Amino acid sequence: MFVRLLHLGVIAALVAAAAYVYDIKYETTLRAERVAKLQHDIRAERDATAALRAEWAKLANPARIQKLAQKHLQLKPFQTSQVDSFDNLPMRPPQIVPPDTSDPIGAMIDIGDDDLTASTGSIDPAPDNSKTDKAQ
């Protein structure tokens, strides 16, 4: 009786081992198919990248760009009269806030609006008519 139980146990172990081997083989087949699909996708992406690089090289060709610029843009040659001297540049506006100030924005607020328009080059605000009307 013990030998029969031993035989049944061994047969059950063999069936379990065969099922386990089949499962491993199935997983291996699935992963091999997945690897093949990924390799195919990688090849396709590399081909697409190569095609885009070739197209970019064609589009960025300086001779092609030069022809298009001459055809579609009415550019004229550079003239030396287009350059002005440094003497004609406007002077730099005076500095509103001293450079060693820890809070330059707060210092600008403390200065007031009248000082800022003069130093920033802004247009002076229109005169307040209400002050002149009260004076009369």
Which pLDDT tens digit goes with each residue over 67-107? 999 999 988 888 888 888 888 888 877 777 778 888 888 88
| pTM (2 d.p.) | 0.44
Q: Could you give the residue ranges of the DSSP H alpha helices within 60-112?
A: 62-72, 104-111
Q: Nearest-5° angle of CA 97, CA 102, CA 105? A: 55
- Specify the amino acid at residue 27: E
Q: What is the distance between the alpha carbons of residues 29 and 19, in angstroms, rounded to a whole number? A: 15
Provide the terminal-to-terminal Cα distance of the chain, rounded to the nearest Å. 131
Residues 13-54 have pLDDT tens digits of: 999 999 999 999 999 999 999 999 999 999 999 999 999 999
**For the packed helices 113-120 and 104-111, what is the interaxial angle rounded to 10 degrees?**
110
